[in-house]
Structure 1
Amino acid sequence: MAAAIDYYFATQSPWAFLGHERFVRIAREAGAKVSVRPVDFGRIFPASGGLPLGKRAPQRQAYRLVELRRFSDHLGVTMNVQPRFFPVNGDDASRLILAVAQADGDEAALRLAGAVSSALWQQERDIASAETLAQLLSENGLAAERLAQSREAAAQQRYDEYTAAALEAGVFGAPSYVVDGEIFWGQDRLDFLQRKLSEPKGD
């Protein structure tokens, strides 16, 4: 039986960006089914003891930049650790990914999630802009009407449901990969996720 992974992330997370392509590759190699779940960490942080970036101590903010550069170099993933459009509200991008997941499936949603991350962290584009989101749909061969669908109540409902599910699962940071109730937090835990996926499965 193929493993199922709940992929909880924030569209504006640099750590989700750094791990995204590797995660997709690991999941595909394992034949795992991925449920793409962008969620609202503005609601998760207060419930889990976390702080948004702007409220963290200066030394923590400074060290975050050091670590981002380290992982960028280590992984060979080019990124601007202080992009032009950051901080940025990722809600619209999240709802768009959910609209794509609903209409086109999780593979398409994974592709768009990667494109959104790259737009922010590599291409200096504003992922809160409707124009940028429309361009990303076009660039990834997805229907333009997904943007309008992302503004409908159904997309917000899924966003709320997945955020609630993340809290119930014990998720507190992005990205988090959940398999059989076990959380793997952070792109630097992908090796452990890969080992989990390689464990023998019962019929």
Structure 2
Amino acid sequence: MVRTVDYFLAPQSPWTYLGHERFVRLARESGAQVRVRPMDLGRIFPLSGGLPLAKRAPQRQAYRLLELRRFSEHLGLPLNLQPRHFPVSGDPAARLIVAVDQQDGTDAALRLAGAVLAAVWAQERDIASEAVLAELLGECALPGARLAQAAEPAVQQRYDAHTQAAIEAGVFGAPSYVVDGELFWGQDRLDFVQRKLSSDH
């Protein structure tokens, strides 16, 4: 049986970055079908009690940095704890991922998402910049025309639909993975995602 995973991601999220390549590998090895669903955390946080980073208590902000460093070292992934271009709007990159998904398919969308995430957290690049997004398309061997297509109303509608689907699934943070209606929040839950995908029910 082919399982489907709804992959709810935010392109500016360090936790999505830390889990992205492992998730892509896990999905490929399990034969799961992935639905790439960038979402707008700015709409989700107010509904779920979440706060933007700057509004969180100092203790939470400090512990976040500690955990990011731990996971970066544990996973062997480069990560700038306080990158030059963060906080940053994820909307332009999210729409671009949606456009690529529509035109070029899931694998291309996952490839671009990985490049966008690394751009923020490992390469000190501004993913809200059209020039940077154009560079990332080129680096992923994807058509530059996708940048203009990402500004079309149909792409925004799809982005809004992904966000609404996340809300209806009970998603409150990124990354989140939904398998057969079951929600898994966070890259540190990928072991459980793997077990779910390999189970018979």
TM bucket by the smaller chain?
Answer: over 0.9
Instruction: Give the equivalent residue in structure 2 for 1:171.
Output: 171
Aligned equivalents of 2:197 and 2:72: distance in 1? 25
- Cα deviation, residue 139, structure 1: 0.6
Instruction: Give the equivalent residue in structure 2 for 1:8.
Output: 8
The correspondence of residues 1-203 of structure 1 with structure 2, limited to 5 A, is 1-200=1-200
2:116 aligns to what SS in structure 1? helix
Aligned equivalents of 1:113 and 1:30: distance in 2? 20
1:191 aligns to what SS in structure 2? helix
Aligned equivalents of 1:126 and 1:166: distance in 2? 26
- Cα deviation, residue 100, structure 1: 0.1
Q: What's the Cα RMSD here? A: 0.6
Q: What do the CA deviations read for 1:98-132 (whole angstroms, capped 9, x no partner)? A: 00000000110000000000011001100000000
- Cα deviation, residue 163, structure 1: 0.3
- Opposite residue 154 of structure 1, the aligned amino acid is A
- Cα deviation, residue 78, structure 1: 1.1
Runs of 4 or more, structure 1, over 4 Å off, are none
Aligned equivalents of 1:28 and 1:81: distance in 2? 29
Aligned equivalents of 1:16 and 1:90: distance in 2? 12
- Cα deviation, residue 200, structure 1: 2.1
Q: What do the CA deviations read for 1:116-153 (whole angstroms, capped 9, x no partner)? A: 00011001100000000000000100000000000000
- Opposite residue 54 of structure 2, the aligned amino acid is G
2:184 aligns to what SS in structure 1? strand
Q: Using the aligned pairs only, state the percent identity.
A: 71
TM-score, normalisation: structure 1: 0.98
Q: What do the CA deviations read for 1:138-171 (whole angstroms, capped 9, x no partner)? A: 0100000000000000110001001000000100
1:200 aligns to what SS in structure 2? coil
Any unmatched runs of 5+ in structure 1?
none
Aligned equivalents of 1:24 and 1:84: distance in 2? 27
Any unmatched runs of 5+ in structure 2?
none
2:178 aligns to what SS in structure 1? strand
- Cα deviation, residue 174, structure 1: 0.4
